[in-house]
Structure 1
């Protein structure tokens, strides 16, 4: 009876705490990049069921470890909510389940259930910027290999970063590269293949290490097939293959490759294989029940829910001017405002924004500006490092990034982050800074730390992100271009105070 009460209590507290996190988690799972997450929970439960007989006959709760994992999950929840990082909240869900397992079964049982918990961790989607930055270089490498394959079979092709030009068709590999969309599920697949088909540790590690090269190679093959179809069949057939079924087909090829590798590695094993652990039937016992600790865990989760409402609710939003009134002519600069489409606005998640082109009336140099403002920041709508956005398309490659200290001689009295992006024939100089609640920062993690602190102490999570870009001319050095940007930033930043209040 006590076990039933403990289960109901914890389940109710768990749902109460994470209820408002389910919609963003489902939205992430519905995203094509993370749709594999729908299969993770059933897979983890299936593997746990397979390994149930490996549980020791007597439960020995690990109370201290369970409470440590529980309080760590509460900490992740607070950090995720206050710093607007939903991946931390999702990780908190995982740790809370781990905590209850330790309170009931203990570390001796973890040997049997370790792998199911590893699989379950794949249900936590990584932050989008990590996914974009991780796969960007992989996509470039995949694109380069595909171009070499096409050149090997005499298909004329030209590549600019992640854009492949076949003459009659252009492939924007970052925007529509569904083959490398399967990087994370391919890693999960490698874990499962090693678990199901191999018995030795070195074999399983080999299969796991082969997942990334497999994803790159199969995606390069996919792009090469598109080039072959465009030249020898029709552009329409190539486009349909590239955008429709090719990603799934290539993923199926990845499965075949990894299964074949797993089976091949078994040929190199000696006749004496690792004996699986002796399975003994699980005999439930109340001798060392963890029910009372599970009930306490439910109380801790309920307390976390109360504390969240007490310290992180009631946001204070400062008065400010809307960017509709921002001056487009100032100190020799003439600007023209631009407006985003609804899809881009939804991705940006800002409450107000300024996007435009400003021209120096004396020199004719054009400077691009994007300022996003958030009344309050929370997971899925917060200022973030723009590097992944700049690398998201157009063939740009990041060739250098650094922090620039304040430059009083130019009138810029705060630090900024500079990036140099290049593609054949072009160089883009971009700078950005976080301007939030009276602070100017360039470090995203420091910004998140202050966001969490201000959220709890001042009930404020408002703030903005400022991005300024300019194309460099032929022969112009980065430092020469930086002087031009610094002069613009000096005049532009002084106008921001009513729009991004302290």
Structure 2
């Protein structure tokens, strides 16, 4: 009876602690890139059931390791909440499950539970900045391979960044078509195939290592098929295949390739004879001790919940002016505001923003300005590195990225990050910086560190991201374009003071 009550209490405490984290987690699962996560929990439970015979006859709880895991899960939880990184909160969810296993079954049972827990870890979507970085690289790789395939079968094609021009149709290999949505489920599939179909360690390793190249090549093949359909069937058929049926077809192809590779490795290296563990019924241990540790775990999770309520419900939101009143005259520049639709605003998650183009009255040069401001930041609504927003879209590639130190003589007493983007025939120069609670930061990771510190010590997480961009002329030097942005930035920074609290 004590064990049942302990289990109910820890489940209740776990659900209460992570209650506000389930909606963002399920939103991520509902996206095309992570829809496979809905299958992860049933798969982990099934694999755990398959390995139940590996449980030792004598079960000894590992309370020390369980409390260490619980402490680490609390650290991840509070860091994730304070630094607005929901991936850390999701990882904390997983680590509490590991701690519960240690409290109930102990380290000696990890032979049975280690692999199911590894499978369960795939239910945790990786941090967005990893997605953005990986997505951009995959877009370019997929685009390049698909173009080579089309050229090999004599289809005339031209690639500009992630834009593939077939003459009759242009394919934009955006995030959804980058192959990212196939990579993580394909890795999981490779792990499961290696576990189920291969018995030797080196065979399983080779199967897992082949998953990423398989996913990328399969996606490139999908794009090449679209090119073939566009040139030899119809543009309408190509577009329908590109956006609808191709994903399922290509993922099935990945499954076939991995299964074939797995079976081939068995033929090459042989397969170990099955060594089934002898069933060990009548597990016994120290039920009272286990129940006590589980009760204590529930109490600790309750303390985490109370700490979260104390630290993050009394956030301070400073007074500021609204961007509705932002002036449209900055030095020699006259501006025009632009407004986003609801979908973009929802993705930004900001409380206020300024988007517009400012034109030099004398030269006619345009500078694009985007400022997003947050009264408070939390997972799913926080500033992020704008590099991913600039890269890839429209064929842009990153030529250089570096910090420009503060230069008070030029009227810019803070550093900025300078980006130079290029594509055939065009170059784009951009400055950006995080302006957060009196600090100017250019490093995304340090921004998260200060966000966590200020959230705990000052109960403030307000802040803004400022971005300015200039399209360079054909023969214009980067230094000349940089000077134009310098002159504009110093005036912009003065105008921003009432709108971004110190």
TM over 0.5: yes
Residues 243-262 of structure 1: pairs in structure 2 closer than 5 A: 243-262=243-262
Equivalent in the alignment of 2:99: 99
Equivalent in the alignment of 2:170: 170
Equivalent in the alignment of 2:407: 407
CA contact (8 A) 1:63 1:103 kept: yes
Shift in CA distance, 477/277, structure 1 to aligned 2, threshold 3 Å: farther
Equivalent in the alignment of 1:200: 200
The answer to whether 1:154 aligns with 2:154 is yes
CA contact (8 A) 2:136 2:175 kept: no
Range 416-425 or range 114-123, more displaced: 416-425
User: Any idea what the Cα deviations from partners look like across 1:434-481, whole Å, max 9, x if unmatched?
Assistant: 101111101111111111111122211111000111111122222222
**Which segments of 5 or more consecutive residues in structure 2 lack a partner in the other structure?**
none
Q: CA deviation at 1:396?
A: 1.1
Could you list the structure 1 runs, at least 4 aligned residues long, displaced by more than 6 angstroms after superposition.
none
CA contact (8 A) 1:317 1:375 kept: yes
Equivalent in the alignment of 2:223: 223
Equivalent in the alignment of 2:286: 287
Distance in 2 between residues matched to 1:427 and 1:191, nearest whole Å: 43
Q: Any idea what SS the aligned residue of 1:290 has?
A: helix
Range 370-379 or range 414-423, more displaced: 414-423
User: Any idea what the Cα deviations from partners look like across 1:78-115, whole Å, max 9, x if unmatched?
Assistant: 11111111111100000001001111111111121111
Q: Any idea what SS the aligned residue of 2:278 has?
A: coil
Distance in 1 between residues matched to 2:77 and 2:292, nearest whole Å: 23
Distance in 1 between residues matched to 2:314 and 2:327, nearest whole Å: 33
Residues 319-468 of structure 1: pairs in structure 2 closer than 5 A: 319-468=319-468
Q: CA deviation at 1:364?
A: 2.1
Range 451-460 or range 243-252, more displaced: 451-460
Distance in 1 between residues matched to 2:111 and 2:403, nearest whole Å: 46
CA contact (8 A) 1:179 1:246 kept: no
User: Any idea what the Cα deviations from partners look like across 1:93-148, whole Å, max 9, x if unmatched?
Assistant: 00001001111111111121111001000000112221121121122111111111
Q: Any idea what SS the aligned residue of 1:149 has?
A: helix
Equivalent in the alignment of 1:8: 8
Equivalent in the alignment of 1:304: 304
Q: CA deviation at 1:72?
A: 0.6
CA contact (8 A) 1:179 1:215 kept: yes
Equivalent in the alignment of 1:189: 189
Distance in 2 between residues matched to 1:410 and 1:363, nearest whole Å: 21
Shift in CA distance, 398/276, structure 1 to aligned 2, threshold 3 Å: farther
Distance in 1 between residues matched to 2:119 and 2:20, nearest whole Å: 24
Range 477-486 or range 201-210, more displaced: 477-486
Q: Any idea what SS the aligned residue of 1:495 has?
A: helix
Q: Any idea what SS the aligned residue of 1:434 has?
A: strand
Q: Any idea what SS the aligned residue of 1:498 has?
A: helix
CA contact (8 A) 1:454 1:460 kept: yes
Distance in 2 between residues matched to 1:217 and 1:374, nearest whole Å: 40
User: Any idea what the Cα deviations from partners look like across 1:267-320, whole Å, max 9, x if unmatched?
Assistant: 11246x266463342432143642111111110000000011011112211111
Distance in 2 between residues matched to 1:429 and 1:199, nearest whole Å: 54
Distance in 2 between residues matched to 1:138 and 1:434, nearest whole Å: 27
Equivalent in the alignment of 1:485: 485
CA contact (8 A) 1:61 1:107 kept: yes
Q: TM-score, with normalisation over the residues of structure 2?
A: 0.97
The CA RMSD measured in Å over matched residues stands at 1.3
CA contact (8 A) 1:359 1:367 kept: yes
Range 333-342 or range 129-138, more displaced: 129-138
CA contact (8 A) 2:372 2:466 kept: yes
Equivalent in the alignment of 1:499: 499
Q: Any idea what SS the aligned residue of 1:496 has?
A: helix
**Which segments of 5 or more consecutive residues in structure 1 lack a partner in the other structure?**
none
User: Any idea what the Cα deviations from partners look like across 1:382-417, whole Å, max 9, x if unmatched?
Assistant: 011111111252111112211111122321110111
Distance in 2 between residues matched to 1:157 and 1:392, nearest whole Å: 18
Shift in CA distance, 178/429, structure 1 to aligned 2, threshold 3 Å: closer
Q: Any idea what SS the aligned residue of 2:498 has?
A: coil
CA contact (8 A) 1:54 1:282 kept: no
Range 356-365 or range 438-447, more displaced: 356-365
CA contact (8 A) 2:222 2:250 kept: yes
Range 326-335 or range 89-98, more displaced: 326-335
Distance in 2 between residues matched to 1:204 and 1:410, nearest whole Å: 59
Q: Any idea what SS the aligned residue of 2:490 has?
A: helix
CA contact (8 A) 2:73 2:96 kept: yes
